[in-house]
Structures are given as C-alpha cells and as structure tokens.
Amino acid sequence: MGRVIRGLAGNGSFRVLAADTTDVVEEARRRHNLSPTATAALGRALTGAALLAFLLSKTPKERVTLKIEGEGPLGHLVAEAGVDGKIRGYVGHPEADLPPTEAGKLDVSGLIGKGELRVMRSLPSGEIYDSSVPLVSGEIAEDLAQYLWKSEQIPSAVLLGVRVSPEGPVEAAGGMVVQVLPGASEEAIQKLEENLKNISGFSELLKEKGLEGAVEEVLKGLGFEATSLKELGLEEGIPVRFACRCDREKARDSLKFFSPQELEEMAEEGGAEVVCRWCGEVYRFSPEEVRELITNDAPEGLQG
C-alpha cells in the first residue's frame, strides 16, 4: 500500500509533500488494462491528485479532481483523490500507446498532446472551486507546477514518475512537491535548484532508495523534518490506495435512466452489465432483476 509524508526543509524555507503510489498505479493499470504509456500518464495524474489533495485541503472530507483534455491519442484523463487516502481515475483510451522517446522515456507528452488542465476542489458543503490552465508540456509534473503558480501563487517544484517493467507491471510510482515559503533564503533556493538538476527521475530514486531515501536525495544538504497531519485528523505517513465509491446499488440505479422498452430489450438479451468508468468494476444484472426495474418504476395502476 502507498503512503504520503509531509514536512519542512531548508530551516523552514520549503514545504514538502511526497508520495509512494506504486500499488495505486499498478491497481489502476490492472483494472483498466492500460498500455505502458497510458499507465505512466494516469499514474502521474493519480499521484499529482493525491499530492494536491494533501496540499490544498482544509478539511478531511475535501476531494481534488484533475481533468486533462488533450488532443493526443489518450483523449481525456481524470484523477480524483482525498486526504482519506482514496484515489481513483481513468483515461479515454486505455489502449493508446506510443513508441518511447529518443531518450528512451515513455512518451506521455505525445500521448496527451496539447490541451488543458482543470483542477477542481470539492468541499463538504457541495461547493466546487474550479480553475484551469493550458498544458505547458503534457508531462503533468510541469503542468501542475504551472497550475500552482498561476492559480495559487505558490512557486513549486513538482516531480512525478512511473516506472513500468517490460513485462507490464509497475515497478515504482510516486511524486514530490517542494514549495518555496515566504522568507526562504537564496542559499537554500540555489541548493534546491542544484539538487533538482541532478535528478534524472523520481521513480528511479523511489525504486532504489524508498520514499524517505528519495526525499533525502532531492533535499540533500537541506534537511527534512516530518510534520504532523493532525489538523486534518490524520497520522503521519497516511496510507493511500486505489479505491472507488461505486457499488451494486449505484450501478442498479444507473439502469433507471433507460426506458421500459430498452430495459425489456436488455432482459430479452440475457440481462444487463454496468461497468464503472472510474475503476472498471463490472456489475451484472439478471433478466429478472432488470424487469424488476420496469415494474418498480411504473406509475401506480400500470404495474402488471
């Protein structure tokens, strides 16, 4: 199971959030049957959503959703997370893939293409804060850094990475956000910039050194001191996992949008199948269960 840690570095110059989402991204890959490059794209977005949830949420019940509408073969991409550690997401075309770049990296930017990043914060009251920025590169990390600067006025370094094995499974996935706080020293900022230049990929660091080790490498010479998540009612190092809010009852309710004639056709063809777009879970309903919807929803006096 993945986890998120939070802290300060550089004698209070930086706020730091980091996440290991390897198990989360592997579960998404398996559930949606994602191609290697689609795995990397959705994995970065899932990790980014988790980091933003812990970064922006003021209460434990808030949720953050990232939506990317790109012109590339992947189509749209959606990722949602909350400080309860539950993360879910999906893409428009899970089978879409591209050859690696000349540098041998998965071509996430090419798969997404030009487009827009939207970030939505859902509050317990039902209110939604929605803002968007054009995609800078389609690599997602740079796009989130641009969002944090444009929308939140927070200078941030964002690292996101997904390492997929040749056989398919995810070997490492995670990310990190380092935000410059007011009063940060120039010396600390320069040291961070030097460190970032020497980082080739966060997933490689994560696989080699683990989460704390990867954070220490990025913040080499700056120190890292974990801070509490108690204001959100959470313990440090909260676990994160791929989890959906769908269930059989919600799937059944979705069939109520079909007309009685359409429901009868489904029943005659052997029943109905509802697939959750968020997690790929399949809910099957027998002909008898489908016909019950027709009977239960019919106006009084018309029930047969």
pLDDT by residue (tens digit) across 110-152?
999 999 999 999 988 889 999 999 999 999 999 999 999 998 8
Are both 252 and 236 inside the same structural domain?
A: no
Are both 174 and 272 inside the same structural domain?
A: no
Whole-angstrom distance, CA of residue 23 vs CA of residue 1: 6
Residue 107 belongs to some domain of the structure:
yes
**Residue 37 in contact with residue 108, Cβ under 8 Å?**
yes
Q: Which residue has the higher pLDDT, 23 or 229?
A: 23
DSSP 101: P
Mean pLDDT over 63-68 rounds to: 98
How far lies 178's CA from each of 24, 87, 184, in Å? Answer: 22, 21, 12
The pLDDT assigned to 228 comes to: 67
Task: Cite the beta strand spans of 57-102 per DSSP E.
Answer: 63-70, 76-82, 86-91
Whole-angstrom distance, CA of residue 81 vs CA of residue 70: 21
- Nearest C-alpha neighbor of 20 from the set 59, 57, 50: 50
- Residue-wise pLDDT tens digits, 248-265: 999 999 999 999 999 999
Residue 302 belongs to some domain of the structure:
no
The pLDDT assigned to 119 comes to: 96
Are both 215 and 253 inside the same structural domain?
A: no
3-state secondary structure of 219: coil
Q: Please determine, for residue 299, whether its predicted confidence score (pLDDT) is greater than 90.
A: no
Read off the pTM: 0.91
The whole-chain average pLDDT of the chain stands at 92
> What domain range is 290 assigned to?
248-297
Are both 44 and 120 inside the same structural domain?
A: yes
2 — phi, psi (to 5°)?
A: -80, 175
Helices (H) and strands (E) in the chain, counts: 9, 13
Whole-angstrom distance, CA of residue 72 vs CA of residue 39: 15
Which CATH number goes with the domain that contains 28?
Answer: 3.55.30.10
